[in-house]
Structure 1
Amino acid sequence: MDRSGTRALSFGEIAERYDRFRPGVPTAALDWLLPDGCRTVVDLAAGTGALTRSLVDRVPNVVAVEPDPRMREVLARGCPAALALPGTGEEMPLPDGRADAVLISMAWHWMDPDRAVPEIARVLRGGGRFGVLWNHRDVSVPWVAELDRFTRALRAREGGRGVVAPTGKAVDPPTGALFGPLEELRLTWTMTVTAEQLVGLLGTDATAALLPADARRAVDEQVAGYARDELGLSGDRTIELPVACRCLRTTRNPDTAA
């Protein structure tokens, strides 16, 4: 497994936390991403099932593909209606043309586009939908940007040189002859969070997952102090956390072989 894949598997260290605090997917995004009459959807790099749980309420057959066994165990326990399978974007244990849609939430940047795109095309039927989405704290809002800077600096200090964050900007999926043109949707929504939930959510970022356990605890304590002192959050008090969601979709060309 390459270095990027190894970093992606670091989320298994915090699988329970990831499952508890990671946000779901806004309904408007799913309305836009899922094709009409979808009967079988693959949630690729499903993690602990934040997207999977929304899909099982809308699609009869949901297959959750996740490489990390720790994440997959939590997913299977929390979302038994989905079929949870080991696999990656580059190699899925599914037959050709199985799916009406393949969706990826918050994980496309961990995949090798040159290998993943043909594999996704193989699994999709002709005319099937390939969609990716990202949910990020909306750093266009000043207080969110300041919180983001604070937490990144904390992790860098606590983790030292042993923590290597993902580098570069996520590249949009290349479509080529296998898929039609990409379409884009951007929307914003809010999460209502307590201090505990905000600290928990921030601790699911990639650079947090890569920290040793003692460093994660130290960061959590300092983020809780920041939430109390700078945001007025403690106990059951809540704040509306702005989230920016970016979605891309494309359609599998029926006349090209993967």
Structure 2
Amino acid sequence: MEPDERLRHSSSFGAAAAAYAEHRPDYAHAAVRWALEAAPGLRVLDLGAGTGKLTATLVELGVEVVAVEPDPAMLAELRRALPDVRALPGSAEAIPLPAASVDAVLAGNAMHWFDMAVAGPEIARVLAPGGVLAGLWNVLDDGVDWVAGLARAGGGEAVGPRDTPAAWRAETAGMHLPRSGEPRFGTPEQEQFPHGQRRTADSLAETLATRAGMLVMPEGERAARLGRIRAYLAGRPETADGEFTLPMLTAVLRVRRL
């Protein structure tokens, strides 16, 4: 993605902050625990925290968390939902924390937006020696037949290049972390953990509507794409009536600061 296009996508979420807060899923607790298990302590930065989906999971797990988010509307939603959490304006490229002040930096569905050439040294600066950097992504479990069909019906804007397990592994195999050959970080590790979200056909369509590719789409094209998604869900016995569980995986990419 070209820099201007990347910026347009990454800055699209604020206009849909309330919908993002309502419809996006949380993260599997086992995935967050795996991300943190190698950290030397429990001071955690949620970087690119959005509306606080990952922040809330970290709070539930009892760690000391500070959230940093660049978009004012997203940050406002986070502060509304989690008023007791320290939440600061800032970005991966300019983190408003002192050097060596956290034991782990986690990013939920955000690391692919970082300019790692700038963010890598900045993350290394705020991490204590031996600290952990981990990206977490909720991906659709396309090993389930109807989910694979949803991925086809949604198209690349609704179900993008990191939204299924095989695609996630390929897309994150070094692209979104500092290079392992650099002295700051070790060798990346990948892992996946079962997860799920209770949805209806309408709420699942609303969830997919909060993806960046959908948010930047012209309104008529977006409405048509959501119409195809709703028609697909209405035609599947698994999703046509009432609530169902959307099968997902929380996928984690983890690396340790040397």
User: TM-score under structure 2 normalisation?
Assistant: 0.84
User: 1:185 corresponds to which residue?
Assistant: 191
| Conserved 8 A contact 2:9-2:213 | no
Pair 152,61 (structure 1): closer, same or farther in 2 beyond 3 Å = same
Distance 2:94 2:118 in 1: 8
Deviation of 1:228 after TM superposition, in Å, equals: 1.5
Residue 220 of structure 1, CA deviation = 3.5
**What is the CA-CA distance between 1:119 and the residue it aligns to?**
0.7
Provide structure 2 residue ranges, at least 5 long, that are not aligned to the other structure: 159-169
Q: For 1:1-20, list aligned pairs within 5 A.
A: 2-3=3-4, 4-20=6-22
Paired position in structure 1 for 2:107: 104
Query: Matches of 2:156 and 2:103 in 1, distance apart?
Result: 43
Deviation at 1:88, TM superposition (A): 1.4
| Corresponding residue number in structure 2 for 1:244 | 249
> Please, which of 150, 172, 194 is the counterpart of residue 200 of structure 2?
194
* AA at the equivalent of 2:31: A
In structure 2, do the counterparts of structure 1 residues 189 and 42 end up closer, same or farther at CA, with 3 Å as the change threshold? same
1:40 to 8, 26, 43: 43
1:154, 1:96 → 2: CA distance? 38
Q: Which sections of structure 1, spanning at least 5 residues, go unmatched?
A: 156-167, 254-258
Deviation for aligned residue 1:60: 4.7
* More divergent stretch after superposition (96-105 vs 225-234): 225-234
Q: What CA distance in whole angstroms lies between the structure 2 residues aligned with 1:37 and 1:80?
A: 27
Paired residue for 1:75, among 72, 78, 97? 78
Q: SS of the residue aligned with 1:230?
A: coil
CA contact (8 A) 1:56 1:81 kept: no
Aligned length: 241
Query: How far has the Cα of 1:58 moved from its partner?
Result: 2.7
Mapped to 1, the partners of 2:90 and 2:44 lie a distance apart of 15
Q: Give the Å deviation of 1:240.
A: 2.6
Residue of structure 1 equivalent to 2:230: 224
- Specify whether residues 232 and 27 from structure 1 end up closer, same or farther in structure 2 by C-alpha distance, changes over 3 A only: closer
Task: Give the equivalent residue in structure 2 for 1:164.
Answer: none
Distance 2:244 2:56 in 1: 25
Deviations 1:205-248 (A, max 9, x none): 2211212455544543443232112345355x222322122212
What residue number does 2:23 align with? 21
Pick from 37, 57, 61 the counterpart of residue 60 of structure 2: 57
* Greater shift in the superposed pair: 98-107 or 204-213: 204-213
Residues 65 and 87, structure 1, Cα contact 8 Å, conserved in 2: yes
Rounded to whole Å, the distance in 2 between the matches of 1:154 and 1:99 is 35
Work out whether residues 38 and 59 of structure 1, in 8 Å CA contact, stay in contact via their aligned partners in 2: no
Give me the identity figure in percent. 37
Q: CA 1:153 to 1:130, structure 2 compared with 1: closer, same or farther past 3 Å?
A: closer
Deviation at 1:116, TM superposition (A): 1.2
Partner of 2:209: 203
Is the 2:21–2:77 contact (alpha carbons within 8 Å) kept by the matching residues of 1?
yes
SS of equivalent residue, structure 2 residue 33: helix
Contact between 1:154 and 1:219, CA under 8 Å: does it hold in 2?
no
